[in-house]
Amino acid sequence: MQAAPGSAGSRRLSRRLSPASHDNEGPMDCCTPKGYRWAFSERGAQSQARRYRRRGLDAVSSRLVRLLRERSLEGCSLLEVGGGVGAIQIELLKAGISSAVSIELTPIYEAAAAALLRESGFDDLVDRRVLDFAQAGGQVPPADIVVLNRVICCYPDMPTLAGAAADHARRILVMSFPKERWWTRFAVGIGNLALRIGRREFQMFLHPPERVLEVARQHGLITAVIDVGNFWQVVTLERAPAAAG
CATH code for the domain of 214 = 3.40.50.150
| pTM value surpassing 0.85 | no
Is residue 98 included in any domain, yes or no?
yes
pLDDT band for position 121 (cuts 50, 70, 90):
very high
9 lies in some domain: no
Residue 19 in any domain: the answer is: no
Residue 138 included in any domain = yes
Average pLDDT over residues 33-62: 84
Domain of 71, in residue numbers = 31-243
Using CA atoms, how far residue 104 sits from 101, 125, 127, 227, 242, in Å, is 10, 17, 11, 25, 32
Per-residue pLDDT band at 14 (split at 50, 70, 90): very low
Q: Is 194 among the domain residues?
A: yes
Dist CA 95 CA 103 (whole Å): 20
Binned at pLDDT 50, 70 and 90, residue 65 comes out as: very high
Helix (H, G, I), strand (E, B) or coil at 232: strand
Q: Which pLDDT score, from 0 to 100, does residue 181 have?
A: 74
Which residues, in sequence order, are bridge partners of residue 178?
232
Q: How many domains does the chain have?
A: 1
Q: Which of 12-21, 39-48, 121-130, 196-205 tops mean pLDDT?
A: 121-130
Is 192 among the domain residues? yes
Residue 1: its pLDDT value, please? 38
| 182 within some domain | yes
Say if residues 165 and 218 touch (Cβ distance below 8 Å): no
pLDDT tops 60 at residue 19:
no
Cβ density class 107-138: b for 16+ within 10 Å, e for less = ebbbebbeebbeebebeebbebeeebbbeebe
Query: Which of residues 157 and 193 earns the better pLDDT score?
Result: 157
Q: Please state which of the ranges 52-61, 94-103, 205-214 shows the lowest mean pLDDT.
A: 205-214
Give the pLDDT of residue 192: 61
Start-to-end CA distance of the chain, whole Å, equals: 62
194 to 16, 106, 189, 197, 206: CA distances (angstroms): 9, 23, 9, 5, 16
